[in-house]
Structures are given as C-alpha cells and as structure tokens.
Structure 1
Amino acid sequence: MAFTVARAFKSRRALAAATAIAAVAATTVLTTQFASATETSPATAQACTLETLPIPADLFQSAKVTGMSRDGSVIAYQAEPFDYSDPATGSVHQPLLYADGEVTEVPMPGEWQEIADVNSKGVGVGFAFVNDVPRPYVWRDGALTRLLGGRGYAYGINERGDIAGESNNPNTGLPSPTVWRAGATNPTRLALPTNAIWGTATAIANDGRVIGHVTLDGDTSGDTKPYIWSADGTVKKLPMPPGVKLADADAYPMEINGDWVSGALEAPGIDAPGIRWNLKTGTVEMTDLGWYEETVAVAPDGTVVGHVWNTPTAAYQATDGTVVELPGLIDPARNLNYDNAEAISADGTLIAGWAVSGYENGREMHQAVTWTCA
C-alpha cells in the first residue's frame, strides 16, 4: 500500500550498493569505542541540511536507508521492529520506497527483508530469508517476483533493469556471481576467475559492467578478492593499494558509478577500510571513510560517502581528499555507535543514509535521513 507524506527532499532528475545483513548481527547493539580525534581535518557540514524520512506509525521504532537510484529520485529503506527479542516480530523488517513525497510499503515474505537497490523507474531489488533460506526478489510495477536460481541475493540494479547478485551454483552448491537480465527471472551466472571457488556480484553499471568479490585457491578463511566483469563477461581483478598484497586482502567492492568503484578493504597496515578505484586511470587509493559491514558509495566524479573511520559521524570525501562531516540527529558525544551515508546522487547534491536518533531500553534507534548539500 502507499501513503502520502510531506516531501522530505526535492527530487533530482540529473542523470547519475551491500552486503546482506547477517541475522545474528542485526540483533546486536554495537558498542564501538571511538577515538576522540582522527587524523583527518574534516570540513564543516554547514552546506548540508538533514531531513528525515517517514516511518509507518506504530509499527516500527526506527529505519535505515538501504539504497537509492543514481539520480536520487527514489530511495529504498527499511523500517525495523520495536523489539528484536520478540520471536514473532523481531526479525521482520518492512521494506519501503520513497519517491515524490509518497512512501510505498513493499510486501516481502519471510524475515530480514531488504530492498538493497532501486533505479529511477522505481524497480527495486533485494532479498528475504524464507524458512531460513535467502531468496532474491525484484519489485516492479507494484508486483513482487522471485528471481530464480535457488538460494541467493539481489544486490544491485542499473537503469536498464539488469540485476546483480548471487545464486546457488547447482554444480558446486556454492554461491556464484549472477546477473538477471532486464525483465528476466532466470539467472546468468558469470565466469569465475581461474582458481576461484565461489563469488558474489554486488553492483552493476548502466553499461553492463559488474563488480564483486571471489575467493581464490580454495581459501576458506572468509577473505575475498575484488574483481570486475566487463559487459562481455571478461573478468579481471581490481588492483591493490601500494604495499598491500592480494593474498593478504579481504576486499568488498560495493558500488560502481561511471569510472569509479568504491568499497571496503581489510589488510595488514590498513586502518580506515574505505577504498576507491579509478577504472579509467587504473589507480586505487584508501579513503578516510568506512566500517567493514557498511556501504561506502561513490558518485560519478569519485566522491565517496560513508562515515569517518573511528568516529560516529557520517561524511563524504571528495577526490582531493577533503572530508565533509554530515550533521546528525543527536550530540556526537552521546552517539555510542555511528551514523552512515549509504548513497549519493549523480550530481552530488543528495546523500541518503541513516542517523542514530537515540536509545530506548538499552537499544539504539535509527532514523532514515537525507542530506541536501549545496
């Protein structure tokens, strides 16, 4: 169903994800201890204004943004239950889409439901756990359709309607990077690089390029390596930052936009995990943003959004290294966890994410928000 609300932001029409939530992680309140200062010198946030997105009344305590169309016209977010400990409702989320002042509730079966990405036509993709099995879905023209391929996830969609994610490879029983072509429900599994045993596609560009991560050489440690597939299916690895060996890296490309890819990387000697690749120049650099399980998104000019490492503050970082902190809902000194910017529009004027709004009965509450930046 849909209900109309006052506009929380002005739609942008300029032409422009995530890793799934682990069920057990969603039940845990983070108590990360932040340093009192960082090595960055962030700019002030005076040019960005914060507005909140609506939450269905009396149903949920908080909400988080999970995706946004590249032009910023449609935002995907999810309302979270009041009590995660309630066995009847604690794991049930309500996926929502916001566009032109209207919120649409997307009905999805099961538990831990999420619309992970959406395009400007309002076509959303995501997943839900049904009988404890992850299933990929697409929401199109007011109808929810399950994508075929067994257990899996849908993480990203482009303007044409191509979907990227993972599905179960029937030959190996392992996850395989997958594309569902626009309008199709049957999976097209992408070729894995030599010696890879499984992989995931996390995002797809408008030109058909796909990014994701794979495991190599029978590695069962959980570490993954970053790769990109061209539109014709050719696969190649993304480079490592100077001083980082591929064998030591655990990398997660999350979003592709134009010639830029963003994500997270964990490796010896790396502090802030935010990373961005410039596909045109073949270069890569670490940023001052990121937390391993949260999105670091990128605009076509290379600006990345997330939050400042080791602080509770959401931010964006330009290609010249300038970090601009984004305003929150509570005093940062009271924020025991962190705000996060999940997506940025192509023109860079709209950022969507979530902010900690307070604490109730020992549990943190979140509010889905947008930041409009001059």
Structure 2
Amino acid sequence: MTPDEKKFAELLRELDDGPDRPARVDLATAIREARRRRRNRRTLTASVAGVAALAMVAVPLAVQAGRPAESGLAMTPGASTGANPPPSAGGSDNASRRPTPAAPSTCKVELLPVPHGYRKSLVTGGDSTGRYLLGRSYPNDSGSHPVIIWDGDRASEVQMPGNDQRLADISPSGVAVGVAYAGDRPQPYVVRSGKVTRLRGVTAGEATAISDDGRIVGARQVGERQLPVLWSGPDETAVDLPLPGPTWEGIAIGVDSDGTIVGKVQNGAGRVFQTAVWRSGGKPELLPLPQVTGGTADGVIPASFHGGWITGKAFRDKGSERQVYAVRYHLARGEYVPMPAEIMMYAGNGEGWMVGSIDHIDVGLLTDAGLVRLPDLDERTGRYGAIATSVSAGGRVIGGQLDTKPNLQDVEMRAVRWRCH
C-alpha cells in the first residue's frame, strides 16, 4: 500500500468500534494531508493536519443564530475575541443576490475513468459548474503522483514535475492551479490546455484557488513562515497581501472575481487561526470567532470561499479533546448562519452548502433543506470508507473517492463522481 492508503486504513480502524463512539478524525482532511504529516517539517497546510491529529467530536448545528445552544453551535454575528467587528455588506454582493436553487434530494455515484488503468485514484477539487474535476493517481509506491483533469467523462493525465503533485482548484474555463514538491520545497503551478507552467515571483510556495476570471491566490514560504499572495493572472508575478502586523502569517484559500480574497491567518507560528478578508486589495479584516458550546471558539480554519459564502471549521479544546464545528459565514450579511444538521465539513459551494463526513464514515451533502447521504456503488449509504472533496454550484456534482475493498489491510481508493438532482 502507498503511505496515503496505509494512513487511510489506520483511520478507518480507529472508527471501527461502533457508531456510538465519538468521531476521532476528519477523514477528508486526513487523507489529503497524510503524506505531508510524514514530513519532519512545517508545511503550508500543516495547520489543517494539526486539527485532524487531535481527538474530535462533531457537534450538531441545528440551533438559532444569536442564542446559546444546549448542544452544538450557537453562532452569534457579533461574537469576537479581539477581532474586528463583522464587515458591512460588500464584496461578493452580486453573488448574494442570486436566487438559491432548489436543493438536490437524491444522488447517484459513478466511477471516474483513470488513464492507463490505474486502479487507485482520488479527487482533489473541482470547478463551480461541475464540468471539471481534479485528482491524482497512484501508479506505484513512489512519491510521484500523476495528476488528472476530468472534463466530463474525459480524463487527461498531466505530468507535473517533482513529487507529491496536487491540483487544488480549477476555473470554469479549465485553468487549474496547484503545487508540486522539489525535495522539501513546494512550488506553485498553473495548468492551461495541458501545459504546466511555474507561477512567477515565488521561490517556494503553493497556489490554492483560482477565480472565474483567472485571479490566483496561495502563499509563499519564507523560512518557516507562510505569507499570503495574489497572482492577478496566470502570467503575472505574485504580490504579497497585507497582514495585520509584522508577526502575522497565513495563506489565502479563496478568491472571487470581484477581487475579494479569503484566507486563514495567525499572529505567529502556533497561534490560533482566524479568517481574514481582503476586499479589492485593501487591508485584511479579521472576522469574529463564532460562539460554540461552552463559549467562544478557540479558532477558525476557513476551507472554501464561493459566491460570498465562507465555509470551514471552528474548534474549541475541552480538556484533551478537540471539538470541531462546521461553520459558514455570509460575507455580505456579516454573520454566521446555522445549518439544520451536523457534518464534519470538507468543502463548500456558492450557496453555503457543504459536503463532508457524517456518522463517522458515511458522506453527505448538507443544504438548507437538510442532509442527503451519498450512496455507495451498490446504492447503499453504508460503506467501508468514503470522502467527498468538492461540490459544484447547486450541489449537482460532487467529487470524491470510495474505498472499494472491505479488507482494511488492502485499501483501494477509487475516484468517483456523484450526480445529484
């Protein structure tokens, strides 16, 4: 087995004690970060791995904003610990005026084709329309992983240089961005029409997201620090995004076509993460930390930014246990908005809907209308292991992977697509 697969098997074994046991891991984040956690160095995404490494308890979100919750998340718009007050409306406001589509109620799954017949593969991202999905395959146990771009049912393998190659995001026009490693140094790349190009102005770093009009964000690495950056186009040179102070660092995770950028920042290594918003190149605004069970969250890690919605995880330590809460923030309204059910969130879309893990091992789509469980290949909802890693606008196309073997000693991950209606 590859290192990714061994780690996935270990995580599934930890969850094999029965459904009444609290969830201990975020499977979606863990499989994404398994290889990087093996490195004896701090990486651009180590903060997410740190959350997954601690014991976790998923908490229900069926509460009302602004009210304390007996259990779950009480999301109060004005709650803050040293952060700026919620910003006024603006930034991605056009997206907030779009009517919300009807939520899907059923989904069907299909295996994605993989070049050269590689049987082990996974999905790492997708575009907002559902046309494109991104992934990588495992031809052997080496550190090199050919990346894949699916355009509908057509799969194209892309040869990126280096090791641990990964595409993170793709625009509706088919321009993808990601990272590959040269030794221990991450390198940012853009892929256009099958051509791989190194992004300019960054000696070490990664590209994490691209807007519909071609703006790219990510981070550059300077020693042990990570600094958020913006490329105004695939052929442009990276520029640093301003930070609240000289000791701050972080990474940009999403960008809209109006120029609004979202990232996660911290005041020095090892400090709590907060969500930062840059509007049209301005200074960063720190969003408030939400109120969760027991008080104010200890930190927030934004994961997705689409259509004015920021989705991610808030966490609060309770003794040796870390409780994790899926959260979403509506930028134009300046408030956290609760959802009707719990989920261990991985990715979100422009409606503020989420995909992630439920019941320890199942996966689902969570919309304002409720939770839709994603079926296995034989139409069951129970399975040996599954992860959902991307969701399109309207929740119509979801990308992820399934473990197709019951033997946890021989995990076989297969890239899949769920079509929902």
TM-score (norm 2): 0.71
- Structure 1 residue 199 corresponds to structure 2 residue 250: yes
CA distance in 1, matches of 2:114, 2:148: 9
Offset, 1:165: 0.5
State the match for 1:49 in structure 2: 108
State the match for 1:102 in structure 2: 154
- Structure 1 residue 77 corresponds to structure 2 residue 126: no
DSSP 3-state at the match of 1:57: helix
DSSP 3-state at the match of 2:248: strand
DSSP 3-state at the match of 1:61: coil
CA distance in 2, matches of 1:135, 1:239: 32
CA distance in 1, matches of 2:239, 2:3: 30
State the match for 2:387 in structure 1: 340
Offset, 1:57: 3.2
- Structure 1 residue 150 corresponds to structure 2 residue 197: no
Matching residue within 348, 367, 371 for 1:298: 348
- Structure 1 residue 28 corresponds to structure 2 residue 7: yes
Q: Any idea what the Cα deviations from partners look like across 1:204-224, whole Å, max 9, x if unmatched?
A: 1122211111111x3x32642
CA distance in 2, matches of 1:333, 1:300: 28
Q: Any idea what the Cα deviations from partners look like across 1:54-83, whole Å, max 9, x if unmatched?
A: 12235x331111111111111111112443
Residue 312 of structure 1 aligns with an amino acid whose one-letter code is: I
State the match for 2:124 in structure 1: 66
DSSP 3-state at the match of 2:164: strand
Q: Which has the higher contact order (CA 8 A, sep 6+)?
A: 2
State the match for 1:289 in structure 2: 343
Offset, 1:347: 2.5
Distance 1:129 1:222, change over 3 A: farther
Offset, 1:168: 2.7
Offset, 1:332: 6.3
CA contact (8 A) 1:113 1:129 kept: yes
CA distance in 2, matches of 1:119, 1:247: 36
CA contact (8 A) 1:152 1:167 kept: yes
After TM superposition, the structure 1 stretch with the greater mean CA deviation from structure 2, 355-364 or 260-269, is 355-364
State the match for 1:5 in structure 2: none
CA distance in 2, matches of 1:315, 1:136: 31
Distance 1:352 1:139, change over 3 A: same
CA distance in 2, matches of 1:111, 1:235: 33
As a proportion of its length, which structure holds more helix?
Answer: 2
The ranges of structure 1 where at least 4 consecutive aligned residues each deviate by more than 4 angstroms after the TM superposition are 23-27, 37-42, 243-248, 330-334
Offset, 1:278: 1.4
Distance 1:207 1:221, change over 3 A: same
Offset, 1:184: 2.5
State the match for 2:77 in structure 1: none
Q: Any idea what the Cα deviations from partners look like across 1:162-194, whole Å, max 9, x if unmatched?
A: 11100135xx76211011111324111100123
State the match for 2:80 in structure 1: none
Matching residue within 165, 171, 186 for 1:113: 165
State the match for 1:160 in structure 2: 213
CA distance in 2, matches of 1:246, 1:159: 38
CA distance in 1, matches of 2:115, 2:183: 26
CA distance in 2, matches of 1:301, 1:51: 24
CA distance in 1, matches of 2:206, 2:396: 30
**Unaligned 5+ runs, structure 2:** 21-57, 63-103
Count of aligned pairs between the two proteins: 331
DSSP 3-state at the match of 1:240: coil
State the match for 2:75 in structure 1: none
Distance 1:340 1:114, change over 3 A: same
Q: Any idea what the Cα deviations from partners look like across 1:215-260, whole Å, max 9, x if unmatched?
A: 11x3x32642221111233311122222489996242211111121
CA distance in 1, matches of 2:166, 2:295: 31
State the match for 1:4 in structure 2: none
Q: How does 1:1-374 map to 2 (within 5 A)?
A: 28-29=7-8, 30=11, 31-33=13-15, 35-36=18-19, 47-58=106-117, 60-83=118-141, 89=142, 91-148=143-200, 149-169=202-222, 174-194=225-245, 196-216=247-267, 218=268, 220-221=269-270, 223-243=272-292, 249-268=298-317, 271-285=323-337, 288-290=342-344, 296-308=346-358, 310-320=359-369, 322-329=370-377, 335=384, 338-358=385-405, 362-374=409-421
TM-score (norm 1): 0.79
Residue 331 of structure 2 aligns with an amino acid whose one-letter code is: L
Q: Any idea what the Cα deviations from partners look like across 1:243-294, whole Å, max 9, x if unmatched?
A: 4899962422111111211112221367443221111222225662226xxx
Offset, 1:28: 2.3
Q: Any idea what the Cα deviations from partners look like across 1:268-322, whole Å, max 9, x if unmatched?
A: 367443221111222225662226xxxx2222222111222x52111111135x1
